[in-house]
Structure 1
């Protein structure tokens, strides 16, 4: 699997391997037959029917007419385009294009299969069938090179991977390690973008707010492992008294999605009047956020109309991957659970 941001050179590598692009230095060695699904509609003649294009693509891949005949029914069945197989492909939707393209590329059993992001065009059912077919080809000995921004697809279909960033190989090796390295870079960039946006949107405030974070030993930190205690110290400075405010702590994932919200009023806190300089501690006995990078923000609001008196700058919180083997969920919150033994009968 090859992953990385847009413009990093992922598709270019596939184009070079398939012979579409030529290199001006270095060399490429390929052993075996290559089948590629890189660009939507690539290798299809728009005036020819789907059936005729199957034979055209098969011949390009070096197959004889009788060999294509052997695969024809499987290709038509996998593509699932019914009677449209005898219609000119210029009338096909993007989904029909990609279904037929993948069916041809995958059913002819190449030595090497190159697949770009085009699978994202297909519906969920077709994508599932594609990844199942990729698994079968891997088991049969076909080398699969998959480019995708879908980390679930990469994790499911690939054993090894490369993280490519602006033409440079940042990491390569086991796919789980490569995805983790890529996620760290993406999370850091997204959090920095959130911080930059907040600074540019800043307005005058009635209260100055600031956050500090402490671990279970009372030491300042920005890194807390899953399941360990975290104390948030909410500092404030009010130039004029603020009566019965609501304190809100929001936690956002690196995608910008809200991961958790803690509101003082809804959790029984009544701080009375805040005046001058002070702080409030918020203790989280066990932090159960999925490993990753998060943005934490503190806002002081008017309890009646929820108008903001002031808010802190965004602070980064990192939850490292624990030394246990079940953290592979693409979620935000991971509760600790106790599973009972199976019981007979109806509850």
Structure 2
């Protein structure tokens, strides 16, 4: 978070609106930006439902109230195409994302919205100059085309120039991702009415899980574009390489967990040994070999007694394993602590 953000009026309004402390508000906004960068790098967080956004932000109260508060205080912007956009995302996005978008000729959602609004204003001004509006004239209601993926839903209005599909840029992106012959897929998607933002959403999903889908799967997904279908649907099954990678990752995670557990146990054992050494070393060192044998003969368990006597005779009193075992006996049986 940039210095001075907590002093902004809209920051204080958000904190008051949601009844949050300053540190809680900072955490909420940081989480929003982190989730957006990871899941919707274009800034179109409205791809997720309000409930999903609340879940991603670990928000337990009303999801709709959260979104309304973020919109009212200008941390999120409503949009006809993207539903919700992180406010001025292109200006505050991490530098690595700026470089990635620039390299692949992509633009952020807030830039699309601003360009659309600017062109829409120009168009209105142009039409107003040519044909003055008549008093009392009313625009007829806009009829929206049905959604192919969900017949009960309607699609957004036809794309404005800023939303129109850039075939050349799309071809460069597909080639950079390994698609050898992108033109047929691009033409098919263009004929199905794909917009630039919808194409980028498919590419974003493809890049979220490297090697889950190969270039052929990406080409097929673009070619079979259906208006209104979420970008995470319509894909073929994961590649064999990705399945193998996932299996290797699970195996590596299991090995790491086992290694961490062994390391933790060794550290605990070392700590216990050090404490015993500090507690009993002086008294142990004061005992003669004969006194050590006498105390070993006092051990009631014959198996343990014989094992300790053999260890003592074979390795001597300096053996770390014998000292540790004898310290335990001294701790369990105070009588063994008495020195000559």
For Structure 1 versus Structure 2, the TM-score category normalised by the shorter chain is under 0.3
Question: TM-score, normalising length from structure 2?
Answer: 0.23
Structure with the bigger percentage of helix? 2
* Structure showing greater Rg: 2
